[in-house]
């Protein structure tokens, strides 16, 4: 079946949107894993350990629990914002992709009817 130039362009655009969506999902998954690590660290800090260390460039450095707690809370806020942003992008891309799928479906149905 031969598609016109406009339909081929829609198919290519849909493929690009789907690739972008996959990329966003991978980013989101990475951030969620880091977020989980932060939550685990926050839980450990809530147990009021006597000594606290953080890893910086492969070196463990002794630090105050309060300082690390603040750093982790800030990092968690940043990750929350990034996930919210990614979810908004996901929704936009999914909406565009669904619209394109419907348009492509209609073109294919029309082409199939003509071929019969």
pLDDT tens digits for 82-101? 999 999 999 999 999 999 99
| pLDDT at residue 110 is higher than 70 | yes
Q: Where are the alpha helices (DSSP H) in 1-116?
A: 5-45, 65-115
Mean pLDDT computed over 28-49: 93
**Which candidate, 67, 73, 39, places its Cα nearest to that of 54?**
67
Q: What is the pLDDT of residues 52-86, one digit of tens each?
A: 988 889 999 999 989 999 999 999 999 999 999 99
Is the Cα dihedral 62, 67, 73, 76 positive or negative? negative
| pLDDT at residue 112 is higher than 60 | yes
Domains of the chain (ranges, CATH numbers) = 10-115 (1.10.287.370)
Residue 78 confidence (pLDDT): 97
């Amino acid at each position: 079946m031969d598609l016109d130039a406009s339909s081929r362009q829609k198919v290519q655009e849909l493929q690009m949107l789907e690739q972008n969506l996959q990329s966003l999902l991978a980013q989101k998954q990475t951030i969620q894993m880091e977020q989980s690590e932060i939550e685990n660290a926050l839980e450990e800090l809530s147990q009021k350990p006597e000594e606290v260390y953080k890893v910086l460039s492969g070196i463990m450095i002794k630090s105050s629990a309060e300082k690390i707690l603040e750093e982790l809370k800030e990092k968690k806020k940043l990750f929350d914002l990034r996930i919210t942003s990614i979810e908004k992008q996901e929704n936009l891309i999914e909406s565009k992709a669904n619209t394109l799928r419907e348009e492509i479906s209609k073109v294919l149905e029309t082409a199939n009817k003509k071929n019969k």
